[in-house]
C-alpha cells in the first residue's frame, strides 16, 4: 500500500521479502528508500518518513514531514 515508505538515512536492514515496485522504484531503492514492512533493522536506524506516512507524523509530537527519526533495536 506504500504507507510505510521510508528512506534509510543511517543503519542497516535485512530484507524480509521484495518491495512493491508500485511503491518503490529501483532508482528510489538505490537511494535508500524501502517499505518498512518489508525490512528488519540490523542495528539502530535513522529514517526519513516518505509517502503517505508523512501525514500522521506531521501532527502531534512526532515532528514534521521530512524529519528524521531514530530507532533502536
pTM of the predicted structure, to 2 decimals? 0.71
Whether the Cβ atoms of residue 48 and residue 21 lie closer than 8 Å to each other: no
Mean model confidence pLDDT for the chain: 82
Distance, CA of 4 to CA of 66 (rounded, Å)? 14
- What kind and span of H or E run contains 7? strand 5-10
Check residue 57 and give its pLDDT: 55
Confidence of residue 19 (pLDDT cuts 50, 70, 90): very high
Q: Does 63 have pLDDT greater than 50?
A: no
Amino acid at each position: 500500500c506504500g504507507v510505510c515508505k521510508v528512506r534509510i538515512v543511517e543503519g542497516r536492514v535485512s530484507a524480509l521479502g521484495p518491495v512493491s515496485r508500485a511503491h518503490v522504484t529501483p532508482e528510489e531503492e538505490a537511494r535508500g528508500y524501502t517499505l518498512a514492512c518489508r525490512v528488519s533493522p540490523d542495528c539502530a536506524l535513522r529514517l526519513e518518513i516518505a509517502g503517505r506516512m508523512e501525514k500522521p507524523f506531521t501532527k502531534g509530537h512526532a515532528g514534521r514531514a521530512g524529519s528524521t527519526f531514530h530507532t533502536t533495536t
